[in-house]
Amino acid sequence: MVARDASLLETLTSDLLSYGHSSGVIEDQAEFIRKVTNGKSSFTEITLTEQWVRVSGKTATVRHLLDGKTSINGTAGTVKLKVLLVFVQEKGKWLLLARQAVKIIFYGVLLLLT
């Protein structure tokens, strides 16, 4: 996603891709690739932590925390997300079938003294 390589993204994603953003926007494969590669909104850096993978037959689920630096219409920003990915094995390749992200929101700590 940082490289914004359309042909690579196409080879890594299923034709049936459902790509859910933390904002609630959901894209199919064509729209996801178009938006990643058009340069208006992109990740400039991505760090993944706390990743785990579970495989069941030809389906795999992946969860991780994503810490990213973004550029939206030239304005720099940061994002912290919890992400769920679902991969399916098709013709010997693992392809991204679905992705859903939620924003990590830090609330102030409330202490109750009794």
Model confidence over 41-60: pLDDT tens digits?
677 899 999 999 999 999 99
Q: CB 67: neighbour CB atoms within 10 A?
A: 15
Q: Find the DSSP H helices in the chain.
A: 6-12, 29-37
CATH topology of domain 6-101: Nuclear Transport Factor 2; Chain: A, (3.10.450)
So what's the pLDDT on residue 114?
A: 47
CA distance 84 to 101: 6
Two structure tokens written together for 27 = 């894209």
Whole-model pTM? 0.82
Helices (H) and strands (E) in the chain, counts: 2, 6
Average pLDDT over residues 75-86: 93
Question: Which run of H or E residues covers position 62?
Answer: strand 59-72
Two structure tokens written together for 57 = 């037959």
Q: Do 81 and 66 meet the contact criterion of CB atoms below 8 Å apart?
A: yes
pLDDT above 70: residue 4: no
| Mean pLDDT value across the chain | 88
Q: Where are the domains of the chain?
A: 6-101
